[in-house]
């Protein structure tokens, strides 16, 4: 479905760019052609950079509920559209929307603080020292794994399943499947446990065993909380973001193609 019904004929655009010279030069060119207004007043946000900058944009401006059209001016651009011929307005009107729902992370730290954050890709737990992490895993209040000994463990959204999750040998999840991935990172015990695919509404709780000797950090995308004692993860019930993709290379097609790469 194209976005013609979502946007005005001449949508007001806010141009956001990564600090690289290439992205900044592109921003200057687009602003000279289309003008520029603050994100809160825009009909669409245009993010110029790589995937890291797209995630920054979603974290900073996701609460505005504006669709985001990304264009690749960086090294990794899975969430971005390619640079190519065609006017920007035409491309935005022809784009197909992908609605993403982030994960909510709530961390209880050793100091007694409670810290929350959102993750559009994944929430990952990692050992802070050379000592392996020991983690108990509960799903919806029921213990499913008494002790996972590992370098770490993560929970990924479908959009994030091709990133860190895939590198950790987790599954690629199709958009709209209403599932999340639970994936261990270098699991030592149980040695053959490869993780699980869970319903998106599942509440995942990690309890850190022996946190003083074996400290663990928890990271939602790039927001890290150190010395975690307990980490609860659930799909957000009230936050969504809409990314816009050129129809010939939409996000669903990219995720499918990623599973058939031979090299």
- Sequence-ordered list of residues with C-beta below 8 angstroms from that of 170, at least 6 positions apart, any chain: 154, 156, 161, 181, 183, 195
User: Residue 68, preceding bond cis, omega within 30 degrees?
Assistant: no
Which stretches of the chain are DSSP H helices?
21-34, 51-61, 88-94, 164-167, 251-258
The residue annotated as part of the active site, out of 36, 51, 227, 246, is: 51
Residue ranges of the binding site for NAD(+): 51-52, 121-122, 151, 159, 162-167, 186
CA distance 169 to 63: 32
38-41, Cβ contacts within 8 angstroms, sequence gap of 24 or more: 38/14, 39/14, 39/64, 39/66, 40/64, 41/12, 41/14
Q: Is 238 a catalytic residue?
A: no
Q: So which residues are the catalytic ones?
A: 51
């Amino acid at each position: 479905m194209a976005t013609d019904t979502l946007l005005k004929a001449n949508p007001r655009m806010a141009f956001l760019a990564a600090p690289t010279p290439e992205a900044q030069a592109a921003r200057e060119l687009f602003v000279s052609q289309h003008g520029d207004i603050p994100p809160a007043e825009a009909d669409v946000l245009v993010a110029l950079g790589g995937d890291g900058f797209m995630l920054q944009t979603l974290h900073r401006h996701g609460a505005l509920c504006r669709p985001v059209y990304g264009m690749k001016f960086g090294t990794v651009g899975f969430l971005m559209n390619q640079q190519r011929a065609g006017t920007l307005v035409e491309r935005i009107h022809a784009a197909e929307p992908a609605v993403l729902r982030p994960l909510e992370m709530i961390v209880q730290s050793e100091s007694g603080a409670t810290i929350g954050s959102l993750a559009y890709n994944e929430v990952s737990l990692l050992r802070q020292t050379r000592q392996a992490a020991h983690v108990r895993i509960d799903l919806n209040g029921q213990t499913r794994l008494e002790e996972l000994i590992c370098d770490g463990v993560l929970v990924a959204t479908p959009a994030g399943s091709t990133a860190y999750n895939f590198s950790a040998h987790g599954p690629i999840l199709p958009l709209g499947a209403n599932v999340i991935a639970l994936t261990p990172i270098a699991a030592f015990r149980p040695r053959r446990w490869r993780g699980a695919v869970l319903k998106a509404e599942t509440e995942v709780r990690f309890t850190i065993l022996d946190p003083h000797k074996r400290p663990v950090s928890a990271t939602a995308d790039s927001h890290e909380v150190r010395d975690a004692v307990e980490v609860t993860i659930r799909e957000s019930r009230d936050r969504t973001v809409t990314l816009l993709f050129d129809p010939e290379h939409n996000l669903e097609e990219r995720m499918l193609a990623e599973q058939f790469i031979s090299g």
